[in-house]
Amino acid sequence: MDKIEALKEILKKMGRVVVAFSGGVDSSFLLKMAKDTLQDGNVLAVTAVSETYTGAELKQAKRFAKKLGVRHKIIFTNELKNKNFTKNPINRCYYCKKELFSKLAKIAKKLDFDCVLDASNMDDRKDYRPGSRAKKEFKVRSPLIEASFSKHDIRSYSTKLKLETAMLPSMACLASRFPYGEKINKKVLIKIEAAEDFIKKLGASQVRVRCHNNIARIEVEKEDIKRFVNKKFCDKITKRLKQLGFKYITLDLEGYRTGSLNEVLK
């Protein structure tokens, strides 16, 4: 049995499902598979909106769900009201996921759905993921892991299915731009989102602006690092990021990598 068939069998046994839907590559693929496998009315996509979720991601999620023709519910989470989250400890993601999954579990119970699903894949198990504890507490299922899907598998099958999300850059909540222990607040989250949007508009395919107090550490794909040799390009970024409030602007020569701030834990 190939992975697609294995995933379909897993989904069939789940019955009615609520999908934690961010609009990214993984959750879009999972939502598509759930829609194709289960009957209409048995799938609900839920997108959680907060200060850590970008406006671009919300637009993408709405567009994809509408095109797919699935019921889509937007909810609001309040991570910034939780001091355990804003203090930014190494298990910060646990408090975020607890907030999310508690709400999804209530929705599932109220609307008579059988399972809450997230779109974690096999590659996620290689990184530090404290949010997995919340998954266990609320009995959230990860069918892509259960069917052994890697990120490469998801992109490959998404391409075959002609999903517009197939080659989208990886996404992560804006809180992931803060080193552990540096307090998270709304003002800086807005600043980071604006900085990343600006650099993307200049042509960078993937961007992370890691915020170290008043220092912006920019991560881009290695093939985009050469853009920074151009003085005009650098000057534009420097001017804009200083307008946003950063004092110093740096480029990470290792380039973009998932979970770079977890490197301090190794």
Cα distances from 175 to residues 24, 31, 60, 93, in angstroms, run: 17, 25, 20, 9
HSE at residue 43, side-chain half, CA atoms within 13 A, is 23
DSSP string, 238-257: HHHHHHHT-SEEEE-TT---
Q: Which of 175, 218, 167, 178 is nearest to 195 (CA)?
A: 218
Task: Tell me the two tokens of residue 157.
Answer: 């099958």
89 and 44 in a common domain? yes
Q: Is residue 167 a part of any domain in this protein?
A: no
Cβ atoms of 260 and 180 closer than 8 Å: no
Can you give the CATH number for the domain in which 153 is found? 3.40.50.620
Can you give the CATH number for the domain in which 215 is found? 3.30.70.2210
181 and 244 in a common domain? yes
Measure the N-to-C terminal CA separation of the chain; round to a whole number of Å. 37
β-pairing, 207-212 vs 215-220, is antiparallel
Domain hosting residue 234, numbered range: 174-265
145 and 180 in a common domain? no
Q: Is residue 168 a part of any domain in this protein?
A: no
183 and 249 in a common domain? yes
Last residue of one domain, picked from the residues 138, 160, 182: 160
Residue 209: enclosing H or E segment and its boundaries?
strand 207-212
Cβ atoms of 79 and 95 closer than 8 Å: yes
Task: Work out the angle at residue 75's Cα, subtended by the Cα atoms of residues 80 and 60, and round it to the nearest 5 degrees.
Answer: 100
> String of b and e for 148-185 (b: at least 16 CB within 10 Å)?
ebbbebbbebbeeeebebbebeebebbbbbbeeeeebe
Residue 227: enclosing H or E segment and its boundaries?
none
Q: Is residue 169 a part of any domain in this protein?
A: no
145 and 30 in a common domain? yes
Q: Is residue 165 a part of any domain in this protein?
A: no
180 and 71 in a common domain? no
Q: Is residue 118 a part of any domain in this protein?
A: yes
214 and 191 in a common domain? yes
> String of b and e for 217-239 (b: at least 16 CB within 10 Å)?
bbbbeeebbebeeeeebeeebee
Write out the chain's pLDDT in tens, 266 residues. 599 999 999 999 999 999 999 999 999 999 999 999 998 899 999 999 999 999 999 999 999 999 999 999 999 999 999 999 999 999 999 999 999 999 999 999 999 999 999 999 999 887 767 888 999 999 999 999 999 999 999 999 999 999 999 999 988 899 999 999 999 999 999 999 999 999 999 999 899 999 999 999 999 999 999 999 999 999 999 999 999 999 999 999 999 987 666 665 55
- Whole-model pTM: value is 0.92
